[in-house]
Structure 1
Amino acid sequence: MSIQSIYLQSALQRLETHRQLGVKTIERLSTAQLHWQPDGEPNSIALIIQHLHGNMLSRWTDFLTTDGEKSNRNRDLEFEENNIAAEQLLQLWNSGWDCMMKAIGSLQETDLDRTVFIRNEPHIVIDAINRQMAHVPYHVGQIVYIGKMILKDQWQSLSIPKGGSAAYNKDKMGNK
């Protein structure tokens, strides 16, 4: 297996992990909770979902042939509350992810050193993927953190719970 193939598989696997962290958080919350905003100017989970949806569709639709900032995208509208129901937010989440994962999954090894543009700035395909792999987890982390703030003591860990490392390691590694 070539390093290019390994890279593409790794990128898809890492992104899918973050997709599932978001899904597991979104599914635990009501519509009202998804629209809750901490004091100040932070975004609600709903706004983050709207933003990621717009970003993913813009970046990954016709990825190799058009600029990643599509003329029909209105980024500012992504940050305006519009009381979208939880089910619809999950649909937005999934349609953005489906677009991105399909585009990355369709790439060939020979595509990785091609040049694509994002806001008229040239990127090799690997860098465009890396850019997304930095951007998306940043926002997924926000979603999970806000979910934890909302659910407080009702939160169930999405990974190794606090104080659970030894038991997790024992389960995974035995008595090594």
Structure 2
Amino acid sequence: MDTTGQFMSSIINVFETHKRMTERAVEQVPDEKLHTALDEHTNSIAVIMKHVAGNLISRWTDFLTTDGEKSWRNRDDEFVDSFKSRAEIMEYWERGWSCVLEALKSLTAEDLEKTVSIRGEAHTVPLAIERSLGHTCYHVGQIVQVARIQAGDDWHTLTIPRGESEQFNKANWGEDGKSHS
């Protein structure tokens, strides 16, 4: 069994699934509401997306050879909404995701045995991957929640709608609605 291949395939799948979930949520939000925070103590969707992309670019550029917190990263600026349009937000978002996905797809079994640094702290490569995945998923949840609020009555659920689990299960697993694997 190729556990390295399975591990990497699973990690890439989870990153890609969360990227798509975010994009499906953001598509439902009017342009102006992408820049609107729920209150003065929270971040807008645009700001959270900027932070996620900035983090991914920093962590995954030269992942195996340089500290994940790059000297050129301006983390504080990630919390300032400087985007003029949805297209600018999405372009920066894509840049961050391209960085992580290309890096992950290039890793070998030997690379998983290595140690990398994040803010001067040593991490095994699997731990660094999991740390990045956890951080990204945390913010994806924020984006989806804010998008749900900002979309209001125009929201279309990203998963199984409330009250439709039994119908979904029957459609996917047969009359008794249970998996038979």
**Which of the five TM-score ranges fits, normalised by the shorter chain?**
over 0.9
2:108 aligned partner: 108
2:179 aligned partner: none
1:67 aligned partner: 67
Q: Report the more deviating stretch, 79-88 or 36-45.
A: 79-88
TM (norm. structure 1) is 0.96
Q: Contact 2:66 / 2:117 at 8 angstroms: preserved in 1? A: yes
Q: CA deviation at 1:88?
A: 1.1
Matches of 2:84 and 2:94 in 1, distance apart? 15
Q: How many residues matched?
A: 176
1:150 aligned partner: 150
Matches of 2:98 and 2:156 in 1, distance apart? 26
Q: Give the SS at the match of 2:47.
A: helix
Q: Deviations over 1:28-79 (max 9, x none)?
A: 2232110011123111000001101110000000000000000000000000
Q: CA deviation at 1:2?
A: 1.5
Matches of 2:85 and 2:66 in 1, distance apart? 32
Matches of 2:86 and 2:115 in 1, distance apart? 37
Q: Report the more deviating stretch, 88-97 or 71-80.
A: 88-97
Percent identical across equivalent pairs?
A: 42
Q: Contact 2:58 / 2:73 at 8 angstroms: preserved in 1? A: yes
1:27 aligned partner: 27
Code of the residue aligned with 1:142 in structure 2: it is Q
1:131 aligned partner: 131
Q: Contact 1:21 / 1:158 at 8 angstroms: preserved in 2? A: yes
Q: CA deviation at 1:108?
A: 0.4
Q: Give the SS at the match of 1:112.
A: helix
Q: Deviations over 1:66-123 (max 9, x none)?
A: 0000000000000012243111111111110111011011100111120000001000
Matches of 1:161 and 1:153 in 2, distance apart? 14
1:4 aligned partner: 4
Unaligned runs of 5+ in 2: 177-181
Code of the residue aligned with 2:65 in structure 1: it is T
Q: Contact 2:28 / 2:154 at 8 angstroms: preserved in 1? A: no
Code of the residue aligned with 2:63 in structure 1: it is F
1:162 and 2:152 aligned: no
State how 1:85-100 maps to structure 2 within 5 Å: 85-100=85-100
TM (norm. structure 2) is 0.94
1:58 aligned partner: 58
1:119 aligned partner: 119
Q: Give the SS at the match of 2:117.
A: strand
